[in-house]
Amino acid sequence: MTTVDGHRFRAVMAAVCAPVTVVTTTGADGGPRGATVSSFTSLSLDPPLVSVAFDRRSALLAEIQVAGRFGVNLLGHGQDDLAVRFATRGADRFGGETAWFTDDGLPRLRDAAGWVACDLERTIEAGDHLLLFGLVTDLGRADLPPLVYAHRTFGTHSRFAERPRPLITDQIAACAR
CA-nearest of 112, 158, 119, 118 to 20 is 112
- What is the Cα–Cα distance from 161 to 156, expressed in whole angstroms? 8
For the stretch 71-108, pLDDT in tens is 999 999 889 999 999 999 888 999 888 999 999 999 99
- What is the Cα–Cα distance from 59 to 160, expressed in whole angstroms? 34
Q: How confident is the model at residue 173 (pLDDT cuts 50, 70, 90)?
A: low
pTM for this entry: 0.85
Mean pLDDT of 34-59: 95
- DSSP 8-state assignment for residue 164: P
Mean pLDDT of 118-130: 95
- What is the Cα–Cα distance from 24 to 166, expressed in whole angstroms? 32
- What is the Cα–Cα distance from 145 to 138, expressed in whole angstroms? 21
pLDDT at 161: 54
What is the H or E stretch that residue 76 is in?
A: none
By DSSP bridging, strand 106-109 and strand 100-103 are antiparallel
pLDDT at 124: 96
Q: If you average pLDDT over every residue of the chain, what do you get?
A: 88
Contact indicator for 75, 114 with CB cutoff of 8 Å: no
